[in-house]
A and B are shown apart, each in its own frame.
Chain A
């Protein structure tokens, strides 16, 4: 143990007295540490941006006819997407369903010339109808204790246009003192007869820029129609949002088993129905593609840098100890074992490597401040590679033939 401590002390003495060479080797290790830290930092940043893009960019999808036109979506397909039932529930959220039904404000109401039937529209989300979107210049205001979540319940509630609510719209239904409106859904049944189904809905909010159309929860319309229609109920469209964008390829793969690509006009019996599934993922792809390229490049550069670290460790070490063969021979002739000579030389390299690395890490943190992340794994791989290179050089140099060195003096 004393011998070991002695050679370590010898190494330390040597290093401090041969300061310039020591400093150069420390600078080499430091530079590579900064380089590897910077690469890892950039990589982390790219991954972070990609994760942010996946999390923040909304990818919407919708079902259409094969030719891309709006499709009526029947219950079987609604169930396929429904979050509580369907096989896609892990992939999708915010499913938008919509069904419009004509209504009349009173049982015996007769339409004036040129007057159109107004609609009572069942929606699962306000996004289901373009006429309620901010993009159409529409603002929705809910009364106290109500919000968007009400559209997934079977509560007999609705929102109406602000002009209908304040009673200024001629020929429109009136809101009573208790805040309710009473209308008759006007539905054509299988026999082609028209039936009137009374509906009493509590007004829970208003929307701007509208007229007589009334929006109620999707289940309310479904229940209402179920009282008179026996057939399969449909939604006038089906829109959804991707739940987790990282699963988009997996979802596309699954969906391709059932739906045909948009614009597909051939007959394909295996594709079950006539629907196409379209994902509006252009923005996501535009954002992700350059990030993926950067990540791929940096991931390729990293092992190259590690290999280079080993090479630099080898070359730097070789350059700085190759002229020390006589010194090592002298040590051996004084009875220093091969192991101790190796220990002395490798300890120096270890100390250069670690000191340089620590300074490099310090500079990296000073440069990046609080944004810096400590990439311990990469640093450890770097040190391992650097020292592996240095070790090969040390083994090479310390395997001296003392006799040969002495013989050269003869």
Chain B
């Protein structure tokens, strides 16, 4: 049963940053399997390689050694633009909404990028916005008119709209107060447990790691389970 749920695999993944003075192994021979319907927390100090690992999972780059595989296929061998468009969604600490698009346009973005017409995209976007507890009064607002918590909900709505099965979140509560942070984590947990998403959260927050199904502790680019 465990094998069937496996969606993302890390196989001896190595990633290095180089400059003219030194080479740093940000991710050092990490192997791990992520499954659908589970909520993961990747924790560790600053510079431990958490965000680098998340970026590799998001297909923003490929490992120098080893492989990140989605449904058994290494990201190295796939169209990673399509992978990011359809299979994985990322939520950021600073929300990364398009400031000059309205709330609904932001959520429609990944749908229209896939070629969906405006009417359909609008329909799905409004469903997803409602799903994160916001109503149509927010549709025409710009991100700057929303609170941090509201912006992060919209970011989650956008991730859901993309249809991806994997949601990656990089410090999603980092810019939020405790109440809003807890709400966001509740939403993410619900997505994993009720809707079967694979949710992977990078965080400093020990509270979040306590809620996680599994905690991946990183130190100096290595995984300490």
Contacts and interface: CB of A to CB of B under 8 A. Distances in A.
Contact of B83 (A14, A332, A335, A410): A335
A269 interface: no
A269 B123 CA distance: 101
Contacts, number: 78
Interface stretch (A44-52, A166-174, A399-407): A399-407
Contact of A333 (B46, B58, B112): B58
A334 B113 contact: yes
Interface residues of A, number: 24
Given A335-B81, A335-B82, A409 B55 contact: no
B55 A327 contact: no
A330 interface: yes
Contacts of B54: 406
A332 B170 CA distance: 16
B94 interface: yes
Chief secondary structure at chain A's binding surface: helix
Contact of A326 (B47, B82, B96, B162): B96
B113 A403 contact: no
Interface in B48-106: 50-52, 54-55, 58, 60-61, 81-86, 90, 92-94, 96, 98-101, 105
B9 interface: no
Contacts of B61: 402-403
Given A13-B105, A334-B110, A402-B60, A2 B115 contact: yes
B109 interface: yes
Nearest to B49: A410
A403 B105 CA distance: 25
B150 interface: no
Interface in A301-338: 326-327, 330, 332-338
A371 interface: no
A300 interface: no
A287 B126 CA distance: 76
A409 B110 CA distance: 23
B84 A409 contact: no
B162 A334 contact: yes
B94 A336 contact: no
Contact of B60 (A10, A18, A403): A403
A330 B106 CA distance: 11
A410 B113 contact: no
A192 interface: no
B154 to A, nearest CB: 13
Nearest to B168: A333
Contacts of B100: 13-14, 17-18
A409 B94 contact: yes
Contacts of B50: 410
Contacts of A406: 51, 54-55, 60, 92, 170
Interface in A180-202: none
Interface residues of B, number: 38
Contact of A335 (B55, B86, B105, B117): B86
A6 interface: yes
Nearest to B85: A335
Contacts of A13: 100-101, 105
Contacts of A334: 84-85, 109-110, 113, 158, 162
A410 B98 contact: no
B64 to A, nearest CB: 12
Interface string B158-171: 10001000000011
Nearest to B109: A334
Contacts of B110: 334-335
A182 B84 CA distance: 113
Given A334-B85, A335-B85, A410 B90 contact: no
Given A18-B100, A334-B85, A335-B86, A407 B55 contact: yes
Given A3-B113, A6-B112, A18-B100, A409 B93 contact: yes
A383 to B, nearest CB: 26
A409 B171 contact: yes
Contacts of B117: 2
Nearest to B97: A330
Nearest to A9: B112
A336 B113 contact: yes
26 contacts: A3-B113, A3-B115, A6-B115, A14-B100, A18-B100, A326-B96, A333-B58, A333-B60, A334-B110, A334-B158, A334-B162, A335-B83, A335-B84, A335-B86, A335-B110, A335-B162, A336-B81, A336-B85, A402-B60, A403-B55, A406-B55, A406-B60, A409-B94, A409-B171, A410-B46, A410-B47
Given A335-B113, A409-B93, 7 more contacts: A2-B112, A6-B112, A13-B105, A330-B98, A334-B85, A335-B86, A406-B170
